[in-house]
Structures are given as C-alpha cells and as structure tokens.
C-alpha cells in the first residue's frame, strides 16, 4: 500500500467508520436516520425490481422512501434555485460533495439556514428544520 493511501486511510476512512454507525450522534432522530436510512444493511424488496445495483443508487432510493419530497442537487445553480423555496420540511441531497460540488458543500456548511448536515464523503444530506440547532455530522 502506498504512503499516500495509508495517510488517506488514517485521515479519512478510519475516523468516519466510527460515526458511520451512528456512534456519537445524540439526537434519536438523527441516529435513526443514519442507522436505518443512510447506511441500512438489510436487503430491500425492490432493489432488483428497480434495477438498483450500486450502494449509491440504493442509498438514494432509501432517502426517497424516508422523504419522498427530497430534492437531489447536482450543481450550484440547482441549489440556488431550490434554496429560495426551502422551508422547515425541506430535505436536500447534494451529489459529489468531494468532487465538483466541494465548494458548494463548504458554502452550505457556512449557510445559517442549513441546520443539520450529513457528510457522507460523496453525498451530502441537508435538513432545514428551523427548530434544530446547527450541526454537521461527518459519516
């Protein structure tokens, strides 16, 4: 294994492993979201029927089951348009937050209306519930 890959593992993957299983999350609602929606291990009935082969496709399917009105954002222009209409019940999924949308994700983390964020390395989830305090979970 190369030195850069080893450093990457120590810096990114190993710390995320602990949080990925929901450990360290105090809110029961957020804990349930992480354990039962974002990183569910059980097989869903519709994976084969809908042709969902990758983990990313299956995760997005589970998010849409949890919140049918979830908005999937793939660019900054889409985010700017969607955030204008965002209310307390709005849930957004930001794709490719470690790639082309990395600056958008940093902007979202600083944005005061994005209350709870979940950083899943390649995808981010944002909750806009105004009753919640601002938190960022790194999964």
pLDDT given at position 134: 93
26 pLDDT exceeds 60?
A: yes
Cα–Cα distances (Å) from 128 to 58, 64, 86, 87, 133, in that order, read 23, 16, 7, 7, 10
Average pLDDT, rounded, for the chain: 87
Asked if 113 and 29 touch (Cβ cutoff 8 Å), the reply is no
Of the listed ranges 14-18, 61-65, 99-103, the one predicted with least confidence: 14-18
pLDDT given at position 17: 60
Structure token digits, residue 22: 């929901």
By CB atoms closer than 10 A (0-12, 13-18, 19+), residue 101 is buried
Q: Where are the domains of the chain?
A: 3-138
125 pLDDT exceeds 80?
A: yes
pTM for this prediction = 0.82
């Amino acid at each position: 294994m190369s030195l850069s890959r080893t450093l990457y593992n120590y810096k990114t993957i190993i710390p995320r492993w602990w949080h990925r299983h929901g450990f360290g999350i105090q809110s029961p609602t957020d804990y349930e979201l992480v354990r039962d929606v974002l990183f569910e291990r059980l097989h869903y009935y519709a994976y084969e029927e809908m042709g969902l082969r990758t983990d990313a496709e299956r995760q997005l399917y589970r998010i849409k089951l949890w919140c049918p009105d979830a908005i999937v954002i793939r660019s900054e222009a889409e985010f700017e348009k969607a955030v204008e209409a965002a209310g307390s019940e709005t849930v957004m999924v930001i794709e490719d937050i470690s790639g082309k949308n990395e600056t958008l994700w940093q902007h979202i983390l600083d944005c005061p209306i994005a209350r709870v964020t979940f950083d899943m390395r390649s995808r981010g989830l944002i909750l806009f519930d105004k009753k919640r305090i601002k938190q960022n979970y790194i999964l």
